Amino acid sequence: MTFSQLLLSWLVMAALTIISGLLQGKEFGTNLLLVAGLAASAIAGLAALHPLTKLPGVLGFGVGWIRHALTFSLLAAVLAQCSPRKSAIMGLCFATLFTIYTLLR
């Protein structure tokens, strides 16, 4: 990904996190900004791993699976305010189903 794509991804995720927090009744302050910054940084960092998913064999397959699991888990935890255990289970299920779908295509 180019720097502009990563920056746009970071800005969108930060904005979505702030909007989600405000809709849930959170106060706009340093805590909300910190959560938004951390979530956006994590998602942009995982998006930057995309070229590694093109590696041949199990390594590319594994990196892609981990990337999808972590991305979905973070989104579920931050935007939907799910518990860490519930968001981790949903992330594992999503990554597994998405990987099976990709293999069958």
| Per-residue model confidence as pLDDT tens digits over 20-57 | 889 888 889 988 899 889 888 988 888 888 888 888 88
The domain ranges of the chain are: 1-48, 54-105
Residues 6+ apart with CB under 8 A from 22: 28, 32
> Which of 103, 95, 98 has its CA nearest to residue 71?
95
Task: State residue 28's pLDDT score.
Answer: 92
The model's pTM: 0.72
81 near 35, Cβ under 8 Å? Answer: no
How does pLDDT run across 53-72, given as a tens digit for each residue? 888 888 888 888 898 898 88
